Each structure stands twice: as C-alpha cells, then as structure tokens.
Structure 1
Amino acid sequence: MTLVLNDTLGKCGRPRIGWQIDPFGHSREQASIFKQMGYDAFFFVRLSKSVKDQLILDSSLEFLWKSSAELDNSEIFTSIFSTDSYFAPSGFCWDYLQCNSDAINDDPESFDYNLEKKVEEFSEFISNYSKYYRTNNILFGMGGDFQYQSAERNYMNLDKLIKGFQNNNDYNVFYSTPSCYYEAVMSNKPNLSTFTDDFFPYAENDHAFWSGYYTSRSTSKRFERTGNNILQGAQHLNAFSKMRNLSNDTASYENNVRMLREVMGIMQHHDAITGTEKQHVFEDYTRMLTKAIKETEKPLGNIIGNLLKRDNVTEDVTLPLLFCLLTNTSICDISLKDKYMVTVYNPLPRNVTYYVRLPAENSTYNITGPDGQEIYDIVTHMIYPVNYSARVSEVELVFAAKNVPPLGIKYYYVEKLTQSYENNYAGEERDDNKVFGTNTVGFTLDDNNLLESVTMNSKTVKINQRFMIYVSNNGTGDSIASGAYLFRPINGSDAYNINYFENGQVNQTTDDKVSVTYNRGNLVDEVIQVFNKWLTQSIRVYKGEDNGFIEFDWLVGPLDNDTIDTEYNHGKEVISRFYVNDLDNDVFYTDSNGRELIERKRTDYPYNNDSFEPVTSNYYPVTSKIVIKDESKNLQVAVLTDRSQGGSSLWGGEIELMIHRRTLRDDYKGVDEPLQETEFGKYLTVRGQHYLVLGSTGANGTNGKSSSAQERELALKKLLQPLIFVGDASSNQWDWDNLSKKINLQWSGLKTALPDNVNILNLEPWKDDSYLLRLEHIVAKGEDANHSKEVEVNIADLFSPYSISSIRETKLAANDWLSDTESSDIPKRKTDSSIFSSLFFWEPQANVNEIEANISLSPMQIRSFIIQLSK
C-alpha cells in the first residue's frame, strides 16, 4: 500500500492524520503506531460516555495522548468529536434514505425562507460545544454510515449554510480537513492535558459495554492469526528467492503474496476482526482468506526446494509442499500416506525447537532429518465433533524439529512401518500417578481430575482451572441483550457451572469430576479431560528444556439447543477460569495490541445494586496475554492466548478468558442478527490454546530470564510459529535415496542468530532490487535484568551469503525517510543515493554519510530500513 501511495500521489499524498470514527474503543498502541508513522494527530469518536463526560467537564476533548510508556516523544495530538457520533447535528443532514432534514431556502422572497433560522440553530450547536475545547476552533463531522447517496443535495445545502455565516460577528463556518484543523488548533499553542491510558471498554451507558466482540467469532480471530503467520513467512521466503535469483518469475511470486496481503488488510476492518459481521459475510471472509493462502502456497515448494538445493544440482527442485490447514480438526490426507515429507520453516531470527503434530495412524514410523533418526510419540487426541467427508484421524504423530535455524528450513522424511505403536503409558484414568511433565515443568491433577498444581521456574503453586458459563441476557422488555457487540450476563451475575443448563432444563448440580485419558510419551505428557458432550480439553507439557509453559488445548461446541435455554432466549458464553491459591492482586495487566502492558484497575466488584454492569465493565481485550502478580508473594502468573479474546481478573488470584459464545438475540448495534455461528450444518465448534506461565515478579528470573521475558518470548513464538509444509513422497521421484542427493536437509537465511530480545518484524521484497527490513525490541523496560536494556545489532553481514551495501532508515510505515534530526542512530554505509530515488516518488536526502552498520534498539522500539544487498 505504501508503494502505491508514493508512486501514485507522491510526497504530498502521505497520510498524516489518524482517523477512526467507527471502531469500538481505541488502544494506546494504535496511537503509538500512528505517532511512529509520522502522523500529526489522531481523531476518533467512540469512547465510554462516563469518560467523555469527564473530559467535557475538564474542557479536554483535545489532549496529548502519551501513547507509549517506553518510547520517548510518544505524545500525539488527539481530538474527540464534540457530538455523540460522526453524524451531522440534528436538522443538518440532507439525504434521501438515511436522513431528510428540511432543505435550506436562502431566497428572502420565498414563503419558506429559513436560512436565518438554520444559521441560528447551527450557531446554538457551536455555542454549546465550543466550551468543550481550549481554542476557538471546533470540528463538526457532517456524514454517517450509508450517507451521501445524494451528495449533490447535501453539498447544495451546506453551501447555503456556509454562505449564511458570511459577515457573522461570532462564527466563521467553512469546509475544512483534519489536517487544516490540526494546524489551526496548534497555531493557538493551547495548554493541553496529557492522557496515558486507553479507551477500553467502550460503553454507551452503564448497561451497554461493548466487550462481547472481544471474543465473537473466535474461529475467525484465530484464522486471521494463521493468515498473518503464513504471510510473514511467505514474504521472508520471497525475499530469499529474490536475493538468490532462484527464479525468473519473482514478479508472479509477488502477485501470489499480494492477494494475501490485501485480504489480511480486509480482515482488519472493524466489523471483520471484531466478529460483528453477518454470518454470510463471515463466510465470505473465510472464503477469501482460504483462497489467498492457497495462492500464496503455490510457489513456496519451488522456493524451498531451490533454497535447499545442493550446489552441484543445476535443475530446479520443486517440492510438492502444501499447508495442512485442517490439522486442528484431525484432518490431513498427506500425513496418512505411507511416505511423506515435512518441511519446517522458522520465521524467527533465532533457533527454535518446535513440536510438529500431524494426524497419523496407530503405526510405527521412521522419521529421518538433518540430525538422523528422530524419536516421536503417537498420542490419542480430542475428536472434533463434526462429521466431515474427509478422513479423520484418531491419533497424532508428534516429533521435535530441534533447533530449526534462524529464518531457516529443516527437511524431514517420514515413512510409515507395518507395526502398531505401543504406548505403555497411555490409557484411561489411573489413581496411582497424577503427576505429569518433568521436575522443572509439570502439573498435577486432583481427585476430580482437574488441575491441582503447576511447577515452573523453581516454584510449585496450587492452581485450579475450571470452565464456566455466563448466561446471556435476552433483552426482554426494556433490557439490553448480549449479542455480537455487547457482553451482558443476566442480572449482572457471576459465571455458572458449565452444566447449569443441559438437556432443556436448569441443572443445579455441581459434579466437577471429569473423565480423563492419559498420554505419557518420550516428548510430551498430556491428559485429555472430557467435561461433557460439548467440552473437552487436553492439558499438556512438552519435555524439552526450552518449553517453560503448560498448554491448555480446549475444544468447545457445538452449543446446540440442548445446551442453551432457547425457551427464554438465554445464550451461553463460555469461559476458562484459573484460580491461583494465595495470590492477591488489586490490579491486573493486559497487553495493548500484543506489545506494551497496560495496568487494569478492577472497579469495585461486586456491586450491591443493579445500576452498573459489574462483570462486563471489568472486561478488556486480550490480544496476547493477561497477567496477575503479587509482589508480597513474589509470584506472577500469566495466561497467553492464540487469538484475541476478552478477559478479566474479577477477584484476587483469578484469571478468566472468554473462549466461545452463542447468543440468541440481536443487541441492535448494527449486525441485525444474533450471534449463532454454524459450520457444516451444526452450531460452531471452536478449538484453541492457552499457555500458562508462572514465576517470580522481579526482573531477575531463573535460567537467566525473568517471567516477563519468558512470556514475551513465548508470545512471539506462538504468533510466528514455524510454517509446517507436508508433501506426498509416495513416488520414486521423492524417494529418500533420490532426493537426499539433490537437497540439503537444512538451510538458514541468516549468518548468525539475533539476540533473544530482538525480532525481525518484517523482511520482504521492496522496489527494484531493495528490501524492507524492520527490527523490534520485544522486551519492555524493567521486565528483565539483562534483556530490558538497549541492544546493539550489527546487520552488515546478517543475510547469508550477502552483505548489506546500502541502507537508509524510514519512518514506521516505510513511506517516508526518517530525517537526520529524528534519528539518533542511522546506520550508515557507503550508499548510492540513486537507488533510493527509485523507491519513492520524491527525491531522498542527499549525502548519506559512511558510518558503522550497527543498529541500536531501546526497549519496545521498532525501526524500519530500506536495504540493498551485495555478495
């Protein structure tokens, strides 16, 4: 997109204003991104009424938003519309369908002349709202959803209104833009207040908190995360293909990725990623994203084959590689064949060990890779409760792709043998041993087969985990319903036992004992818990040295009519709640768009009256993690997510996350239908993962890393997991003896791994023979004694086998150079300025000096560069 803007519109077309009139709440990190992109100001509309009322009292609808607790100079001018929405004031909207105010008649001789009246009415609006601001400028939005279908009629009346204010002694009314408005305000040098928080949750009133959309359409939120994972890895591989001149068809490779970029952009729409679209629109998003992934997939077998190709092989090596997108539903036809290949691409700039899990048969296997024969486990797993036409496996093959090199590839050849796999440690519940994992990372179960304790980072802590449900308000009478946007339990109540309503009637029993199946393997221990017909979970721990977490893999649904009170239209909203023994927290923390943490102060919960929503007012979006800590106990507990979800800590020592919801009534906020997702003729089933990490609260942790640093690293590993490709190796062409002579079994795109606190956020082909490179520091200040410091990286010889010959820093969006005055550390090398002239429509700065190619990154900093390479 930045290339299109620059090439088409030039420097003057570069965006300078953040404009968000319809999203349902605003994160601090979004403001920080705008600031780092070089934006001057941020305008928005939606914020909670109570917050806006206070800003009005303080005459502070315009303020400086300190958008980062980590970065210097992070303040961005922020303006909130004076009116309750972005629509024109009442009486000043002229359209055919959405509004039909009286037209302005400016003929004094006409019997229905009303210009003076309209001027007087608009003057009253100006007078009422002007006191909310600290300068004599005020911005009115004059549009709305689906308006300006009669643009001519609107503008004719606006022209007359503006003309009516000519020679007005009090007000000057005219057409303007946000940029011009910003300049006018700042020219008055106002004394603006500073804001440091964010604007979640958004609430229209004390009973309408828009916190349901944090979880709505949970599978869509996960699929979007998968799409980003694939996009980033594919862009890396495209860049390496271009660097190495592996194909004459790099332009078509770029076209394959472009579709996925565009769809991922669509998925960020505020009615897409939020889950507030209609069912058929959601299905279309899924169709588009699936198609885009398939297009992106097409050239990757050729790129990977040629990256692995031995030096003495002259012909192209195109491996028959595909993604198995349905492995979460136990489906992958290729992994059920007698011979197949697995290729693992690591998109992180450091070695990663990843546990590959593929649908399998109960057989023995030979798995051959760069390190020889691999050990493996065959484990039973949760059965997806949907009848597909495809073949569904009942077991999974698990093996460790160890130390996959940075931005690198490992190749494995898998051959099924005839013998059955014997696991002497798998089976039904046994009472004699309910301890799983290792001495350093593990968990135990209690007598009801529920989680009892967790061991990690030299601590053993009693932690219980349960699933519960909120019963949705049905919106009868004057009440407000829980729906795609809103989360509102009946009577503001706490969550109920999961079996509160089953088989068409209320069930008050609380029998929590669950049936379990054990899997104890060489690589992984896991317990499958069956709670009821619509809820199953596997708790697992991998036994590798670098796997300091407990994984909770849950399968929820379908929430059919037997499990929901359809008679009274009460929906069901499912949560996973963790209880940490002897931990007391008054506040909790959630991430802001996966980066900086924000402290959340729990409002006085519970309330003793029904004038407020006690649960939903304390719900916040959790993009990557939620954290509670108790300094007096030196204990910190975090739960990380695999998608965006709503979450909270309603009581001390508790963490809860909402994982699935079905509501039976519309909440009348725009989607015009209840949230009743279906799939293959049944109500939706959702599968996902949570990751539990615990440790000390301080910056000094065990094994050289604090708990916070471990959480940061784990979140990144889950956001950018290795891409797993599978390919049918049944034909002689892909026989191990033949193929091993043509390809190396591993390859790395980097000469050396980057430090643990540095990530390559983006690596992708740019214009002509250049590349976009973004680096980020992933740890915040004070989180870790060693990794929270400024770090320096020399990138001169980062990419194998090339050196960086030309480099220049840009602003975050890579559509404008970072000026010398704005950069304290521009890595400089002998640079040919002419190459940069072709990257942007306007001329770059002249005379780029020759200095060291060292890049320093402060905590949470992102830096963007355009680079050229040479051998």
Structure 2
Amino acid sequence: MAAGGCRSARRPPLCFLFVLLLAAPGAQAAGYQTCPPVKPDMLNVHLLAHTHDDVGWLKTVEQYFYGFRNDMQHAGVQYILDSVLSALAAEPSRRFVYVEMAFFSRWWRQQTNATQETVRDLVRQGRLEFANGGWVMNDEAATHYGAIVDQMTLGLRFLEDTFGSDGRPRVAWHIDPFGHSREQASLFAQMGFDGFFFGRLDYQDKQVRKGKLEMEQLWRGSSSLKPPTADLFTGVLPNGYNPPKNLCWDVLCADAPVVEDPQSPEYNADKLVQYFLKLAKTQGQYYRTKHTVMTMGSDFQYEKANLWFENLDKLIRLVNEQQQVNGSRVHVLYSTPACYLWELNKANLTWSVKEDDFFPYADGPHMFWTGYFSSRPALKRYERLSYNFLQVGGRGARELEALAGPAAAAGPYGAGSSAPLQEAMAVLQHHDAVSGTARQHVADDYARQLAAGWGPCEVLMSNALSRLSGFKEVFSFCRSLNVSVCPLSQSASRFQVIIYNPLGRTVDHMVRLPVSEGALAVNDPDGKTVPSAMVVLPGFYHQEEHSELLFAARVPALGFSIYSVARVSSQRPKARTKAVRPQISQGQVLVIKNEYIRATFNPDTGLLMKIENIDQKLWLPVDQGFFWYNASKGNKESKQASGAYIFRPSQKRPMPVSRWARTRVVKTALVQEVHQNFSAWCSQVIRLYLRQRHLELEWTVGPIPHGDGWGKEVISRFDTRLNTKGRFYTDSNGREILERRRDYRPTWKLNQTEPVAGNYYPVNSRIYITDGVTQLTVLTDRSQGGSSLQDGSLELMVHRRLLEDDSRGVGEPLLELGSGQVVRGRHLVLLDRVGRAAAGHRLLAEEVVLAPQIVLSSGHGTTYHPEAIPQTQYSGLRRELPPSVHLLTLARWGPETVLLRLEHQFAKGEDSCRNLSAPVTLDLQNLFSAFTIIHLQETTLAANQPRASASRLKWTPDTGPIAHPAPPVLDPASVTLQPMEIRTFLAQVQWQRDS
C-alpha cells in the first residue's frame, strides 16, 4: 500500500472507495492519495521545492555532508535536512522532495527517535517525498547496468526498511545527468517506477519538442521486452532543475524577496504576480495538459529553508487571490513529482513514443558533452575492477558469501563485510564520479573509498574460500596485477593460485602472474602438470624488466579451481617453463596466429594491417593505430574549450602519435605477442592466446605530453574497407545495442556544428561496424567515448589530458597527476560473420565484466575444521546455466535469504546461428550445490516490491492500446526468461552443512 492518507487501518473502508473513484482509468491510486487538490478548469502550476545534492563534485562526500570547505562551495547537507524539517513542521501545506540516500541515510542515523518519528509522519502524509531513491543520482553514460541496479537496490532497500511502502518512490528523477540512456529507462520501468523526469536534453531537441508539444511522452526502453514492460512515461522539466528567472529565494541567490506591503518602497508583489502569471501561461503552451511544473530549488539549496518557504507561501497566496480579484485561470500549489505525474495520468491522453536515447547532449552550438565519456580513464577502470571484485570477490563478498552462508561473515580471518564496498561502488555511480567530472582531490577521494571497501571484502572472501575449500590459508590479493606487481608470486618458491569464476558456465582463463626468473611447474587441481610458459617483458613506467608466468586454467561454473606453482630444478625438464624474451622484428613480415585467428602486420610500419577468422573463412584488412586531437582552447566561432565535460577538438582530423612502431615479438605454445612502441608515452601489446577467438590489444598511454601548450585527446582507431553507410553500433550501459548514424538524430533534423564531438557516443562495453555480411567488434574494459567518423572506420578515446577548463563549474582543467597520468587498458577485437557475431560479443562481454578473480596463498594451510573435507575444485551449481542466461546477482539478503537475479543476455532475434535469442526455461530447484531453496518470491528489479502485488500507472501510446498481462505464476521448477528479461527473486534457503 501507499503513503499516508487511506493507508491506516483506522480509516473507514469508505475512504478506499473514494480514492479508487478518483483514480485514472486502469490505474491504482496507491501512493497518490495524499496529493493536494487541484482545479481541473484552471492551469495548475505545481511548485516542487527540492535540493540537488551532488555526492561529491567540487568537494568530497564528507565535506558536502558536514559543510567543510565552504570557501570552495557553500554547501552543508546536514543543515539542509535540519532546516527543511523545521520548515515543513511550521506550515502543513508545504512539501519537499529529496533524492540522494547516500546523504539522507547518514543524516537519519544521527537523529533522535523523536526526530525520526517526525520524519516518518511527514513521509506518511506525503509532505516529504523521496524521488528516485537510489544511493545516488547515477550517471547514464559511463555506468554499467549491473552497477546501476546495485546502487538503486541499495537506496530503495534503505527506504523500504525505514519507511515501508510509505517511502517508496513512484517517480524516477535524473535532473542533472548529462544525457540519458535507453537502458536507464528500461531499468527504471522494471523497478516499478510510474514515470521519469529529467532536466538536460540537447538544445535543438528541446526546441523541436516544445513546438511539437512532446516535452512529455512514453519512452520505450527496450526493443526486445514486450510493451509495456520497459515503457516509461518521461517528462522534460521546463527549466532544467533550477527555479525560473527572478524566482530564487535561497541564501545562495540574489533575487528580491516578495514584499507585499504597499507602503514599503521595496513593494514588488504586483509585479512579481504579473510576472509569474505570464511565465506560467507561456510555459503551459508547451505542455499538453492543464498542468505544468516549476522546480523551486537547485544545487545544495534550502540550507536556510525558511527563506524559500516564506516567499513561496506568499507567492502561492498572492497568485491564487487573483482568481477572485480578476478571474485569473492560474492555480498554483505546493506539489511533488509524483503528484504532478498523477494529474498527467488522470488526463487520460495518448502519448507519442520515443525509441532511441538522448545522447549526445549539447547545451549550445560547439558545446557537446561527450568528453566525460572518457575523462579520468584510470578511475573508470578502477570502478569497473571494483564492480568485478564486488560481484566476483564480492560474490566472494556477495556470491561466495551467499554460497558459504553465515560462515563468511565471521570466520578465521575476522569479521568481513561487503557493505563498505557496496556503498563505495554506489557512490561511484554518481554523475560526477565515474563520469570523471569532479575536481582532482574529489576523484582521489572516490578512489580512496573504493580502496577502503576492498579490505573488508577480502576478509569476507577469505572466510568464504576457507569454508568452501576446507583449508585455512593466508590469502594474498594482488591488487596491482595491471602493472605486473604481486609480492607473493614474485618472492615465494611455491604458492597456490585460486581462480574463482562467477559465471554460470565453465570458463577457460589464461592466468598471468609476475614471478622471479627460474624454472616453475604448475599443477592442476588433480595434481597433474599443465603446460605453462614464462615471458620476460620490458618495464612499465619506470619499472624494471620483469617475468610473467602463464598457464591455462579451467574453472567450473560459479566455483573455483586451485592450481599449485613450485620452483623445480633443471633435472626435471618436463616441468620447466622456458623464459622467452621479446625478439626485435623490425622490417620483417610478422604474423601471429592460433587455431581461430591470424593477425598480419605491415613489415614497413609494424602496424596491424589484416585480421583473419580462420574458423569462419573470413578476412578483413584492418589498420590500427593511435592518434590525438588537439583540444580546443576556443576560437572565433565559439570560446568553448575542451574540458572534463566537453569534447571539442580544434581540427577534424587527428594527428598520428607515430606512423610506425618499433616491434618485438614473443611466441610460445600458449601465447603469441607483438609489442609495439609508438613513442615514449604510447605503446601496445597485441596478443593471441591459445584457443582464443579474439585479438587482444593491451595499450599503455601516458603521461601525455603538454609542453607544446596543447591539451591532447588520444584515440585508438581501426580503419577498414567495410561499406558501413554512415552507421555504427554501440551498447547501452552494457546491454542492448543501438544503431548510430553519423550527423543524424532520429527525432529531429540535426544542425551539426561539431563533426567530431557531435558524433561521439558512450561505449560502455562494445562498439561495432558492419556492412551486413562482416562485422568488426571492439570490446572495452571500461567506459569510453567512441564513434565512426568515416565509413569503415571505428575509434575509441583512451585518454585525455587538457589545459583549459570548459566552464561547466568544475573550475580546473583535466590535467591529471599521480597514478592517473599513465593508463593501461585492453580492447578485444572480434571479426565475425553477422549471423554469428552476437554470440561472440555477448558472451565475451560477460567474461570481460566478470573476469575470474585470482587469489594466492602460500599452500601451507591447515584444515578449516576437523570434519571438513578439503577440495581443490568446487562449483556452486549442480548444473551449468545455458549460455544465454547470466547470473546477474547472487547475494545474501538476510539470515536465511539470498537475492537472486537471472537475466537473458541476448536481444530478440539477435542470434540466428545458435538460437541463443530463444526464450529459456530453467529449473531452479536444486540448482545450487551450497544451499537448497525452500521458498521463492519474485520481486521487481530493485527487490523492494513483490512482483505479484506491484502495479504501475497505465499510459496509452499513440500507436494504440497495450495489453497489461498479469505476472506469471511462479513455479521454481519452470522459470522462463524472454530475450533481455531480468527476473529477480528473494529465495529463502537452507545452507548445506559440513558432513
């Protein structure tokens, strides 16, 4: 049931009948009965008193909450909430909207029981409304869908636990993110939201929408899910998220207060009233109902809430008095996003349908917000690694915790917890965090929060691994493998390698560990020696030459394998790994190949020039190299410079870092590599592992030089002869694929002013080009900006270092120092025939995001307890999941409950070769080996509502009425997943005990 009003059992049943009679056709009134009355025959202006509290930007999260460093920015969130609470208590008609649970939950924990009860009353009355309800208001370009779901679940669970259904948000609220993804709309719809409001959209798009009266419409968030599953009513707020001009009454504003004393020389009431009436009528012309909305608040406002509310009280009274004075047809009221949405729904109109997204976003000519797709690439990678660890090691802290049961939280290594990393990861989804648009000291603090969260997760994972393997070991987590540093493997004469696989299917994984030189033998979980190799590599960024051990590991579904490594004498030649050093190959025709792929390099330049898919009898000339754009400082067309948000190159064509590369080659039985050195600050290793169906390009860029006075934006570009007809394809938050067209927008005629930046799109996991027969796909290991600026060409921005601020508020150039100067990353390249491409990039993307987690131990441990049966290989599943099914979430939810999310990871009609786009039916009974499911309840995506009782407002698209099917009857033995469907369950379980 819903907040306040008729929820109370003490109210007579007639109250429920009255509310239902008011409901829009086909809609439930739950959650809306506390809304204020409106006047149906007038223009109703809904005033939304709100604050927008960035979870880090110019100041750190702590500085914002407590009000530190007001010399940087005057902001103190704790005082905002204190002040708003007092102001709401003073006048019962007032309402307020709050969004960010990262701040609210902290404030809540500091309040007395009496204050908490006062807040509960306000929530019950609908006077304090939570919109969105996520831990943060997440970015929509640089975020992975799994991390979005996690941060929303964290915030919504807090609200459900604290306020019950009274506090459940009905409206999604993304007023500040810099562009909006289609997948975000799909996720919000599946979480049960009735509507979605945002503030930023392209300035050209907005003008067209105002003229066509399409500022509000239905957004179809999926091309696979059957409507209305992913349909979401979406509205563009008229003034971003700020107050109308001259109507800001915050301590941070300078507008004149309302003076209604005619004797005062500052009297302005008549003027303000007439101004407001004109403003309301003008604004109402662009919306289709007798309702319009005004956002009365902005960044960190309402620290002295009485300033706002006293003036709004006067404005409301004075404007409404005009109805009697001169017959005004304007009615103004305190409202909330949910109450405004409720009135739109009751209008019972048909609405136009949008099927694309809102990228890229520009707020003026030459002002495309496409730079943040790539800003701070080191932080973007750290966020993705932390997501991996939270889901993998965190499924060691979440998944392994779920498999090991209560033993994971408190075991031989102390008390472990995934909560600190969950909260840190949720903070990183904020639209000024993973986006890379915060100040340097704030970015450093985001990294600090992630690092602090890893420690308790490592303890949790150690406890879980000990419980499941039967061994008490000293576990070592190598956090610096990306720079080939791992103290245990580089110093110990023998050690164990535990590889944990979070996927629901067996994976083959090539393990690479830095070691000291010498002969090594690797044994598998059965004690058998497996092939291995040792490669001697050049140093990395002031690092000396080092050796890496390679061996192929097979890891069961949702489980681990333990391999042992030991030094051996030269008398055991079969067990020795031969150390191979790179050999200079300049001027030679160079080919690397395995069973499936052959890559050929230009003998004159050392650059990649051809890729062949041997298995599919397919080949394609592919030239790959690194280029850089000069970052604009502004010119005669516009003063706009490139910065943390804005991408604006000073020329259309980028300059090559180098037209040739010094090359070295490494060839072993397990891997073949070409090492390319382009300059002192740009290098790459192109490699093929044994039985690998893709080419791996590991690039290292930085520190980007700027002594010439120019900022630089570095790209990796792939040029082919494919006739792509101006089209290319990018993912949406790592899930569905969207077609992009150069210099084109699906819903309006674009006046293109920036032919490079205006064609950049967010690439969260993959981008591809195709001619309808052949497809070249590049997968990324973090979010980046990408495009196809010429037919057959594809580019991704890997790093950027800038000398100018772009005047969007951050106030400093994107000139990273410290560890952010040098970035190492990977691009995985697939060449396929179109019918087989989806299977390749879908399954590979799953493996990239949830790569196996590697943990080391000395191998000298003791048994977990006397009855434990030690095991060197383990699977948490009794049977593997089908390849089209992904285990998105497995986490402990309560003492005897786990949260389980299963998703179909193929789109409708996407795979024509292996039929992986077909619906899949699973038997969840006895699926897991670690526990037995006693009872299963299906919920909405964020797990805060039972699916059977959840309902959403019904909207009618202009394409015709839509059937609203009842939720399927839940049978644990027969759970069906449709293409792109995610199903979420709370499972009551019984853990298997030791024998």
Q: TM-score, normalised by structure 1?
A: 0.88
Give 2:646's aligned amino acid. L
Q: Distance in 2 between matches of 1:497 and 1:425?
A: 29
Q: Distance in 2 between matches of 1:555 and 1:399?
A: 23
Residue of structure 2 aligned with 1:809, choices 938, 960, 965 = 938
SS in 1 for 2:173: strand
Residue of structure 2 aligned with 1:57, choices 207, 211, 225 = 211
1:301-330 deviations in Å (ceiling 9; x for gaps): 231122012xxxxxxx32222321111112
Q: Distance in 2 between matches of 1:687 and 1:400?
A: 23
SS in 2 for 1:29: helix
Pairwise CA distance, 1:583:
3.5
Residue of structure 1 aligned with 2:288, choices 129, 134, 137 = 134
Question: What residue in structure 1 maps to residue 553 of structure 2?
Answer: 401
Pairwise CA distance, 1:803:
3.0
Give 1:140's aligned amino acid. M
Pairwise CA distance, 1:215:
0.3
Pairwise CA distance, 1:797:
1.1
Question: What residue in structure 1 maps to residue 620 of structure 2?
Answer: 461
Give 1:454's aligned amino acid. I
Pairwise CA distance, 1:190:
2.2
Question: What residue in structure 1 maps to residue 46 of structure 2?
Answer: none
SS in 1 for 2:293: coil
Q: In the TM superposition, what are the counterparts of 1:371-450 in structure 2 within 5 Å?
A: 371=526, 372-381=528-537, 383-386=539-542, 394-402=546-554, 404-417=555-568, 422=578, 426-429=582-585, 434-447=590-603, 448-450=605-607
Question: What residue in structure 2 maps to residue 224 of structure 1?
Answer: 383
Pairwise CA distance, 1:113:
2.4
Question: What residue in structure 1 maps to residue 100 of structure 2?
Answer: none
Pairwise CA distance, 1:646:
0.2
Residues 349 and 750, structure 1, Cα contact 8 Å, conserved in 2: yes
SS in 1 for 2:503: coil
SS in 2 for 1:658: strand
1:745-765 deviations in Å (ceiling 9; x for gaps): 100100010000001100001
Distance change >3 Å, CA 213–CA 590, structure 1 → 2: same
1:6 and 2:160 matched? yes
1:366 and 2:521 matched? yes
Q: Distance in 2 between matches of 1:47 and 1:694?
A: 35
1:726 and 2:852 matched? no
SS in 1 for 2:472: coil
Pairwise CA distance, 1:852:
5.3
Runs of 5+ consecutive residues of structure 2 not aligned to the other structure: 1-153, 571-575, 952-963
Pairwise CA distance, 1:654:
0.5
Question: What residue in structure 2 maps to residue 496 of structure 1?
Answer: 655
1:106-127 deviations in Å (ceiling 9; x for gaps): 2234343221211100111111
Distance change >3 Å, CA 4–CA 751, structure 1 → 2: same
Pairwise CA distance, 1:460:
1.5
Residues 404 and 464, structure 2, Cα contact 8 Å, conserved in 1: no
Q: Distance in 2 between matches of 1:449 and 1:827?
A: 60
1:521 and 2:668 matched? yes
Q: In the TM superposition, what are the counterparts of 1:633-712 in structure 2 within 5 Å?
A: 634-679=773-818, 684-698=821-835, 706-712=836-842
Pairwise CA distance, 1:433:
5.2
Q: TM-score, normalised by structure 2?
A: 0.77
Q: After superposing the two structures, state which structure 1 stretch, 192-201 or 615-624, moved more.
A: 192-201
Runs of 5+ consecutive residues of structure 1 not aligned to the other structure: 310-316, 500-511, 699-705, 829-850
1:38-69 deviations in Å (ceiling 9; x for gaps): 00000001111001111011011011111111
1:206-263 deviations in Å (ceiling 9; x for gaps): 2000000000000100000000111112443355555555628559988620000000
Q: Distance in 1 between matches of 2:758 and 2:598?
A: 35
1:263 and 2:424 matched? yes
Residue of structure 2 aligned with 1:281, choices 442, 446, 451 = 442
State percent identity of aligned pairs.
38
Question: What residue in structure 1 maps to residue 608 of structure 2?
Answer: 451
Residue of structure 2 aligned with 1:353, choices 490, 508, 517 = 508
Residue of structure 1 aligned with 2:929, choices 795, 800, 823 = 800
Pairwise CA distance, 1:560:
3.0
1:293 and 2:454 matched? yes
Distance change >3 Å, CA 369–CA 778, structure 1 → 2: same
Question: What residue in structure 1 maps to residue 151 of structure 2?
Answer: none
Residues 402 and 891, structure 2, Cα contact 8 Å, conserved in 1: no
Residues 362 and 421, structure 1, Cα contact 8 Å, conserved in 2: no
Q: Distance in 1 between matches of 2:357 and 2:752?
A: 24
Q: Distance in 2 between matches of 1:114 and 1:610?
A: 42
Pairwise CA distance, 1:428:
1.5
Q: Distance in 1 between matches of 2:879 and 2:176?
A: 45
Pairwise CA distance, 1:5:
1.8
Pairwise CA distance, 1:395:
2.1
Pairwise CA distance, 1:439:
4.3
Question: What residue in structure 1 maps to residue 310 of structure 2?
Answer: 156
Residues 382 and 536, structure 1, Cα contact 8 Å, conserved in 2: no
1:173-196 deviations in Å (ceiling 9; x for gaps): 011000000011111112321111
Pairwise CA distance, 1:548:
1.2
Distance change >3 Å, CA 183–CA 648, structure 1 → 2: same
Q: Distance in 2 between matches of 1:747 and 1:827?
A: 33
Residue of structure 2 aligned with 1:859, choices 942, 964, 979 = 979
Question: What residue in structure 1 maps to residue 742 of structure 2?
Answer: 602
1:178 and 2:342 matched? no
Question: What residue in structure 2 maps to residue 550 of structure 1?
Answer: 695
Q: Distance in 2 between matches of 1:432 and 1:719?
A: 36
1:721-740 deviations in Å (ceiling 9; x for gaps): 000112234xx5589xx99x
SS in 2 for 1:714: helix
Question: What residue in structure 2 maps to residue 503 of structure 1?
Answer: none
- How many residues align? The count is 797
1:783 and 2:910 matched? yes
Residues 825 and 855, structure 1, Cα contact 8 Å, conserved in 2: no
Pairwise CA distance, 1:642:
0.3
SS in 2 for 1:707: helix
Residue of structure 1 aligned with 2:499, choices 344, 354, 357 = 344
Residues 401 and 891, structure 2, Cα contact 8 Å, conserved in 1: no
Residues 580 and 668, structure 2, Cα contact 8 Å, conserved in 1: no
SS in 2 for 1:152: helix
Residues 827 and 853, structure 1, Cα contact 8 Å, conserved in 2: no
1:798-833 deviations in Å (ceiling 9; x for gaps): 1015432210100000000001797766464xxxxx
Residues 586 and 663, structure 2, Cα contact 8 Å, conserved in 1: no
Residues 809 and 826, structure 1, Cα contact 8 Å, conserved in 2: no
4+ residue runs of structure 1 moved beyond 6 angstroms? 251-254, 820-823
Distance change >3 Å, CA 438–CA 221, structure 1 → 2: same
Give 1:557's aligned amino acid. G
Residues 536 and 580, structure 2, Cα contact 8 Å, conserved in 1: no
Q: Distance in 2 between matches of 1:665 and 1:64?
A: 39
Pairwise CA distance, 1:299:
2.9
SS in 2 for 1:766: strand
Q: Distance in 1 between matches of 2:427 and 2:403?
A: 30
Question: What residue in structure 2 maps to residue 833 of structure 1?
Answer: none
Q: In the TM superposition, what are the counterparts of 1:44-123 in structure 2 within 5 Å?
A: 44-72=198-226, 73=228, 74-83=230-239, 85-96=240-251, 98-123=252-277
SS in 2 for 1:384: coil
Residues 796 and 804, structure 1, Cα contact 8 Å, conserved in 2: yes
Question: What residue in structure 1 maps to residue 127 of structure 2?
Answer: none
Question: What residue in structure 2 maps to residue 485 of structure 1?
Answer: 645
Residues 343 and 412, structure 1, Cα contact 8 Å, conserved in 2: yes
Residues 370 and 785, structure 2, Cα contact 8 Å, conserved in 1: yes
1:326 and 2:480 matched? yes
Distance change >3 Å, CA 418–CA 484, structure 1 → 2: farther
Question: What residue in structure 2 maps to residue 845 of structure 1?
Answer: none
